[in-house]
């Protein structure tokens, strides 16, 4: 397996493998306050160089590649955009969109069969209150040029620094059905709209609607590229949460392709002052559309 390398610049960190920049992590991206400024991974690329993520699409400008988010934290919105309010029965733009500030990298492994970085972050409300300190790690590994794939492990621990109990939820916990998006969310290229969705524990033809809200081990979405020939596959593992509720899938292939293993899809997580919440997930990225049999075999091979 070829080695990976990591390059750290003033505001970005780039991971390369087999002559391709497979990931760029923007840890000090700036952006509009209404978009919930936070670090994100974009572009993510397959080993053939094809794009696997979308950035600021017209329908949701705050969707930025693969990013860690939370839509509802005691009335604050760390996802970006509008907030669902049951009294309106709709989403409304409020002065409640927070941000996640990158504070420092604590460790960086910059070359070898694996590269990784761990950082400390602070979640800050729009009013300037620091509610959460976070330690997150990204680990890139499993580069396989023969099979055209690589893997990313993500882990994080959130520690409440607020002076009161924090309530973590989603639009679904606030009353909107099947809108449990929150957590480590990936927005894939618009060309993948209508792409094939497979999930552990469901038949091959179940489709995205059957996966929405499911508590299952993994989900995979495959799609065809624009501009270049061929397609790709993103395989996502639910992983683990210390929060209590089961991780449930928020997944769509239409009207746009998105996957998030949601820690608070339809149940709140309560975090007392000083308490911690830990999550861990894995993504595997392929440079072609895997067959259902290949997808299930790789899901078994890379299972957490």
pLDDT in tens, the chain (304 residues): 678 999 999 999 999 999 999 999 999 999 899 999 999 999 999 999 999 999 999 999 999 999 999 999 999 999 999 999 998 889 999 999 999 999 999 999 998 999 999 999 999 999 999 999 999 999 999 999 999 999 999 999 999 999 999 999 999 999 999 999 999 999 999 999 999 999 999 999 999 999 999 999 999 999 999 999 999 999 999 999 999 999 999 999 999 999 999 999 999 999 999 999 999 999 999 999 999 999 999 999 999 9
Structural domain for 93, as ranges: 4-301
What total number of domains does the chain contain?
Answer: 1
At residue 246, the pLDDT reads: 97
At residue 111, the pLDDT reads: 87
What is the secondary structure of the chain as a DSSP string? -PPEEEEE-SSEEEEEETTEEEEEEESS----GGG----EEEEEB-TTS-B---BS-TT-TT-BSEEEE-SEETTBBSS-S-EEETTTTEEE--S-B-EEEEEEEEEEE-EES-EEEEEEEEEE-TTS-EEEEEEEEEEEEEEETTTTEEEEEEEEEEEE-SSS-EEEE-TTTTT-TT----EEEEEPPGGGTT-EEEETTS-TT--HHHHTT---SEEEEEEEPSSSSSEEEEEEEEEEESSSSPPEEEEE-SSS-EEEEETTSSS-EEE-TT-EEEEEEEEEEESS---HHHHHHHHHHT--
At residue 1, the pLDDT reads: 64
The pTM of the full predicted model, rounded to 2 decimals, is 0.97
**CATH number, domain containing residue 103:** 2.70.98
């Amino acid at each position: 397996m070829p080695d990976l390398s990591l390059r750290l610049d003033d505001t970005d960190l780039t991971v390369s493998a087999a002559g391709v920049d497979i990931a760029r992590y923007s840890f000090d991206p700036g952006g509009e306050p209404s978009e919930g400024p936070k670090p994100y991974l974009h572009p993510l690329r397959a080993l053939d160089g094809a794009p696997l993520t979308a950035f600021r699409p017209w329908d949701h400008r705050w969707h930025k590649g693969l990013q860690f988010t939370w839509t509802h934290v005691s009335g604050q919105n760390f996802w970006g955009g509008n907030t669902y309010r049951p009294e309106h029965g709709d989403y409304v733009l409020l002065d409640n969109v927070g941000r996640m500030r990158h504070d420092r990298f604590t460790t960086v492994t910059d070359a070898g069969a694996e590269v990784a970085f761990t950082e400390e972050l602070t979640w800050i409300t729009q009013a300037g209150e620091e509610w959460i300190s976070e330690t997150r790690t990204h680990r890139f590994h499993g580069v396989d040029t023969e099979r055209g794939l690589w893997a990313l492990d993500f882990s994080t621990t959130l520690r409440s620094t607020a002076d009161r109990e924090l309530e973590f939820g989603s639009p679904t916990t606030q009353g909107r059905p099947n809108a449990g998006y929150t957590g480590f969310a990936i927005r894939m290229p618009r060309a993948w709209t209508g792409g094939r969705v497979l999930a552990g524990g469901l038949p091959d033809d179940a489709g995205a609607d059957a996966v929405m809200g499911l508590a299952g081990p993994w989900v995979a979405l495959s799609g065809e590229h624009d501009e270049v020939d061929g397609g790709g596959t993103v395989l996502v593992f639910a992983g683990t949460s210390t929060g209590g509720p089961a991780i449930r899938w928020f997944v769509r292939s239409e009207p746009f392709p998105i996957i998030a293993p949601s820690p608070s899809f339809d149940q709140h997580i309560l975090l007392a002052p000083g308490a911690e919440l830990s999550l861990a997930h894995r993504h595997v990225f392929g440079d072609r559309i895997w067959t259902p049999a290949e997808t299930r075999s790789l899901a078994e091979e890379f299972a957490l």
